[in-house]
Amino acid sequence: MSMLGIVFLFIIAAINYSNYSYSKTHSEDLLKTLIENNGEVKPMSEPSSETFKFALPRNDFEFDQFVTVKLDDQLKITEVLGYKGAAELTDDWLTVVNAVLAESESSGNLDGYCYQLLENDEGFLLAIIDQRISVAMNRRTLWTSLFIGGVGLLIFFFIAIFLAKLLTKPVEEAFEKQKQFISDASHELKTPISVIAINADVLENEVGENKYLSHIKAESNRMDYLVKDLLTLARMDGIKNCDHYETFDLSQVIEGVTLTFESCAYELNKVLETDIQKNITLFGDPEKIKQLLSILLDNAIKYASDRGLIRVTLEMKNDERHLSVFNVGDGISLSERNKIFERFYRVDESRSKQTGGYGLGLAIAKSIVEQHEGKIWVEGESGQWISFEIIF
C-alpha cells in the first residue's frame, strides 16, 4: 500500500505539473508574441500580414485577457495597445499596471498576472496577461486530484485487506491445524513416554544396571523434554494470556535465576559474572521471564569455551530495560544470526549430540520476549564471543 500510495502521488504530481507547465508555456508564448509585435497581436481570424512577426501560436489564446501599453521614459502611459486592449484602461487594469510598475523586476508574476516590461527606442513596452482563471483552475485540479486519489487509495486499501484475508485464509487454517496437531500429539506422547520411563526404572530394579536400560531411560528423558518444549510453543502460539501479568522486580528475578546456575557453571569450569542494576521493575509474567533467562544461561554455559566468561547484564537505558547474556566461545556467523530463532534449527548439527536439545529453546525465548512486547537479537563474532540482547 505504501508503494501504491507513492505511485498515486507520482501520477497526481505528474498531472498537476503538466498543467502548470502548460499554463506557464502558454503565458510565455503570448508574452513573446506581444513583445515581438510591438505590443500588438494578430487575431487568428484575420488573414496573414507582414505587419505581424508572430501570430498567436494557439487558437485558445483568443480567450486570454491581456493588455499592452506604451510608456515614456518616466513610466507614464502614452498609449494603450493590444488585441484585447481598449482605448483607455479600466480602473481594474490601471490598478494592475500601477502595481506592476511598482515592482523592481522587469518580468514575473503578481497576484495572478504575468507581465514583462521591455525598453525600446520610444520608451517602454509593458505586456500583462490575466492568469487568475488559469491559476484557480490549476489549484482546483490539484485539490480534486488529491481528493479523488485519496478516496481511490482508501477504497483499494479495503479491497486489498479483503483479498489478503481471502488469500491467506487457507494458510491460517493450515497453521491452526498444525498448532492443534502439535498440541494434541504432545499430549498423547506424554503418557507412553512416562510409562516407558517407569517401566525402565522397575526393570532396572529387578535386573540391575544395564546399558540398554540406560539408553532407554536417556532417550525417554530426551523425548520428555521435547514434548514439554512442543507444548510450551503450542501454548505460546495461542492468544496472549495476561492473566498472570503483574508488576514485579525484574532485578531480583534475574539475580535469583543466575544464582541457580552458578554451581553448574563452576562444575563445568566456566566463569559466571553479573552486572545487575537494582530496583528495575517490569509488567509481565515472572515465571516466563525466569524460563527465558534459564534458556539463555543454559545455552551460554553449554557453548562457552573452557574457563570462558559468561556475563549477565541488566540496566535501564532511555526508559528501556536492557538485558544481555554474553559468553566467550565459538560465536556465530552473520548468516546464521536470524536463523537461530527458528524452530529445530541448530547452528552445528554435530554439536547437538554433545549438548543435547532439539533447537526449540531459542524459539521459546523469542516467543516469551514477543509476548512481553520486547525485542531480542544476537550479536557476536565468529570464533570469539556471542551475546543475546533483549529490550523490554
pLDDT tens digits along 121-143: 778 888 888 878 888 888 888 88
Q: What is the pLDDT of residue 385?
A: 87
Average pLDDT in the 103-118 region?
A: 83
Is the pLDDT assigned to residue 351 strictly greater than 50?
Answer: no
What's the CA gap between 329 and 308, in Å, rounded? 7
Cell of 387: 551475546
User: Please, what is the Cα angle at 262 between 361 and 219, to 5 degrees?
Assistant: 40
pLDDT digits (tens, 9 = 90+) for 270-280: 888 888 889 88
pLDDT higher for 349 or 378?
378
Q: State the pLDDT at residue 322.
A: 92
Q: What is the mean pLDDT of residues 55-69?
A: 59
- Report which of 278, 388, 257, 290 is spatially closest to residue 332, judged by C-alpha positions: 388
Question: Residue 163: pLDDT above 60?
Answer: yes
Work out the burial of residue 272: count CB atoms within 10 Å of its CB; fewer than 13 is exposed, 13-18 middle, 19 or more buried.
buried
Position 241 scores a pLDDT of 59
Q: Are 385 and 329 in contact (CB under 8 A)?
A: yes
**Mean pLDDT of all residues in 83-93:** 62
